[in-house]
Amino acid sequence: MGAEDGTGAEERYTVISADCHAGADLLDYKPYLERRYHDDFDAWAAGYVNPYEDLLADTADRNWNSARRLAELEADGIVAEVLFPNTIPPFFPSASLMAPAPTAAEFERRWAGLRAHNRWLADFCAAAPGRRAGVFQILLNDVDAAVEEIHRSTDAGLKGGLLLPGTPPGSGLPELYSRAYDPIWAACAELGVPVNHHAGSASPPLGDEPAARAVFMVETTWFSHRALWHLVFGGAFRRHPGLRLVLTEQGSGWIPGVLDMLDYYHGRLVAAAGRASTAESKFGAGLAAAMGDRPSEVWRENCFVGASFMRPHEVPLRDRIGLDKIMWGSDYPHDEGTHPYTREGLRFAYAGLPREEVAAMTGGNAARVYGFDLAYLDEIAAKTGPTVAEIAEPLDTPPADATSPVFARGGSVRVW
């Protein structure tokens, strides 16, 4: 929480968004590509048709216009951000990192495109020192190349850590519980950078039927949740105790129930493994030795949640989730984000809570996980952050033109 600025100003919160998005305008990626790909990029870009309305609108430059971002976020009460990708990287048909490359040559080009995005992002973060933690991208098809990029991106100053792609059905990749990915977990643990798994990065393609979008909405967070039990049951945290996993924009209310379920299966299978005569014993064979602690204990030691626009009905679960685990996010510049009503969103969710709890969820936890300098950010927040008194005032009527689901009817019932 921000301190007073010495002029008698009201105490303010230092708000860090743990979920924002950025990327270069399409042609601006070219200078960040290795020269040998420039001709291919020119040909690809000339024929590319962007399918995303938000990247064609006059607000698209929020993704890459540094001055505009800083001004709009400060006006919204936010002083720092964790940056996930948003625009189309070179040679990809869409923003999906799981779009399968049909040939080895196409995979090589897409890998070059992701590395170009990472280079661009390092420069974009450097344009606002101390206020942006960039999340770099990899592909899982080549683990050695991924490890090399983890080291290069971290050395380039990207403090946001790794964006972990999913392995949805049909990807042809080993599942995330596979030991094939151990070099990736080892590199992230060694360098102290988190592994981030963002909603939408693990869903399989669903086709173009009318129901596809509704099914996607129902299933996409579940496919993203899978990373948790894959890494837990796969023993990644036991082999790499310093590994940290952040699950972002997947909600947070599901966490206590899922941890209870995982603990149940852990106990059941470990117990069954000791009864060789039972049909269930084969399911628990080797599990205890591989994964170690109960899933809920692993969560307490190693995991965090990027709780984008946390909803009021999730707030009463904060102690069961872990107050030191929750990192609020605005999802800027997406229209489902809280901009320009972040203050209202925070009031709607957090009014009435102890201010030290609000301070942890809106900034303190993110500063610890992503390495932000709170003392530096407090100075900025002393002028632009929402006041403690402001957030303490309940919001009974959401803004009429707000588009964030935090205000959605039926999804944000106040129960505390």
> What is the model's pLDDT at position 98?
66
| Residue 342 CB coordination number (10 Å) | 25
Please indicate, yes or no, if residue 259 is contained in any of the structural domains: yes
Please indicate, yes or no, if residue 164 is contained in any of the structural domains: yes
Please indicate, yes or no, if residue 179 is contained in any of the structural domains: yes
Average pLDDT over residues 175-204: 94
Supply 208's token pair.
């173009």
Q: Which amino acid, one-letter code, is at 145?
A: A
| Residue 205 CB coordination number (10 Å) | 15
Specify the CATH number for the domain of residue 257.
3.20.20.140
- Nearest to 135, CA basis, from 23, 292, 14, 298: 23
Supply 382's token pair.
């002393």
Average pLDDT over residues 18-46: 97
Please indicate, yes or no, if residue 2 is contained in any of the structural domains: no
Provide the 3-class DSSP secondary structure of residue 20: strand
Please indicate, yes or no, if residue 398 is contained in any of the structural domains: yes
> What is the model's pLDDT at position 326?
98
- Calpha distance 66→254 (Å, rounded): 35
Q: What is the pLDDT of residues 346-404, one digit of tens each?
A: 999 999 999 999 999 999 999 999 999 999 999 999 999 999 999 999 998 999 999 99
Is the CB of residue 406 less than 8 Å from the CB of residue 309?
yes
Handedness of CA 94, 161, 65, 25 (dihedral sign): negative
- Calpha distance 305→121 (Å, rounded): 23
> What is the model's pLDDT at position 270?
87
Which residue bears the tokens 């519980």? 177
Share of the chain above pLDDT 90, in %: 75
Please indicate, yes or no, if residue 243 is contained in any of the structural domains: yes
Query: pTM for the whole thing?
Result: 0.93
Please indicate, yes or no, if residue 414 is contained in any of the structural domains: no
> HSE (CB half, 13 Å, CA atoms) of 48?
21
Domain holding 403, by residue range, is: 15-407
- Name the domain count of the chain: 1
Average pLDDT over residues 112-127: 98
> What is the model's pLDDT at position 1?
63
Please indicate, yes or no, if residue 412 is contained in any of the structural domains: no
